[in-house]
């Protein structure tokens, strides 16, 4: 597997191999209902990467059958067709259409289930991994504009965001790293960029390193979105000259990216959320 560029971000071969194992694991979860009672609903840890791939949030991940490709194929055609089709109605992601991919992966996709939907297995992905992974990750996401940020803008941002440039335009090594950690990491907090940062340490950092206010066209203004109850839900930080850095989600398919401030604000809007600004007053340098 060769390296690839996705959403304007380089992806090395070793990370692409991980992506393939998360989109098309050899054993994968199927959401089951009462009509699937004969399937073995065995207990198996659900890795965060698989939870994000298949969007098994809320109660969707409570009743799962873990199947291999031969186990699915061994089911009578009518049962496996119903099971794969049901994944769409039950809210499991990564159940593509034969219409979209049939010309790429051939008749095996059509013959797998009901002829309209199928799931990815390593055997299907093997010869088309780069194309499939790029389209899966690219779907509905804006490419990072970090290469459009001038050297002068990065230089001016460095005083408050010493690690912003090296963080921008990178994918995480797995699920977990989130928007709070990305903002803190850009401001110099060691290890924050690779952590699933919780609300409490982020709030503590906001209290210690920022003050109320900020200029959207200046570096170091932290954009903070809160729920109606006041809980912080998302964060981004401005780089200056109309640019901002944020990580849209904790998923493995979500890079830390640079967009215009306007695009970050538009993409982060959600009913009930309230946006406020905080200004970074000092970077968190090693030992400080």
Q: What is the pLDDT of residues 166-195, one digit of tens each?
A: 999 999 999 999 999 999 999 999 999 999
Q: Does residue 118 carry a pLDDT above 70? A: yes
| Residues with Cβ within 8 Å of residue 61, at least 6 apart in sequence | 29, 31, 46, 51
Q: How far apart are the first and last CA of the chain?
A: 42
The pLDDT tens digits for 198-254 are 999 999 999 999 999 999 999 999 999 999 999 999 999 999 999 999 999 999 999
At 263, list the tokens: 């695009």
The pLDDT tens digits for 143-154 are 999 999 999 999
Question: Could you tell me the pTM of the whole model?
Answer: 0.92
Contact 246, 182 (CB under 8 A): yes
Helices (H) and strands (E) in the chain, counts: 13, 10
CA atoms within 13 A on the CB side of 140: 5
pLDDT at 44: 72
Average pLDDT over residues 61-67: 86
3-state secondary structure of 263: helix
Please, what sign has the CA dihedral across residues 115, 119, 125, 131?
A: positive
**Cα–Cα distance, 170 to 161 (Å, whole number):** 16
* pLDDT range class, residue 106, cuts 50, 70, 90: confident
């Amino acid at each position: 597997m060769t390296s690839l560029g996705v959403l304007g971000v380089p992806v090395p071969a070793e990370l692409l191999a991980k992506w393939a194992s998360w989109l098309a694991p050899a054993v994968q979860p199927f959401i089951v209902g009462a009509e699937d009672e004969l399937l073995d609903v065995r207990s198996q840890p659900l890795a965060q990467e698989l939870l994000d791939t298949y969007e098994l949030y809320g109660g969707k991940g409570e009743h799962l059958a873990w199947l291999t490709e031969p186990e699915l194929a061994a089911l009578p055609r009518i049962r496996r067709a119903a099971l794969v089709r049901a994944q769409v109605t039950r809210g499991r992601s990564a159940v593509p259409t034969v219409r979209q991919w049939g010309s790429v992966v051939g008749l095996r996709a059509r013959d797998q289930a009901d002829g309209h939907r199928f799931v990815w297995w390593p055997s299907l992905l093997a010869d088309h991994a780069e194309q499939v992974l790029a389209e899966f990750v690219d779907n509905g996401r804006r490419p990072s504009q970090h290469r459009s940020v001038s050297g002068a803008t990065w230089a001016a941002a460095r005083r408050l965001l010493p690690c912003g440039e090296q963080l921008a335009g990178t994918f995480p090594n797995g699920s977990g790293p989130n928007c709070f950690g990305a903002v803190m990491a850009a401001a110099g907090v060691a290890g924050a960029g690779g952590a699933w940062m919780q609300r409490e340490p982020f709030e503590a950092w906001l209290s210690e390193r920022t003050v109320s206010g900020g200029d959207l066209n200046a570096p170091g203004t932290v954009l903070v979105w809160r729920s109606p109850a006041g809980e912080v839900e998302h964060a981004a930080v401005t780089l200056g000259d109309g640019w901002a850095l944020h990580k849209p989600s904790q998923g493995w398919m979500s890079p830390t990216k640079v967009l215009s401030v306007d695009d970050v604000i538009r993409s982060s809007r959600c009913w009930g959320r309230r946006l406020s600004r905080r200004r970074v007053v000092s970077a968190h340098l090693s030992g400080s």
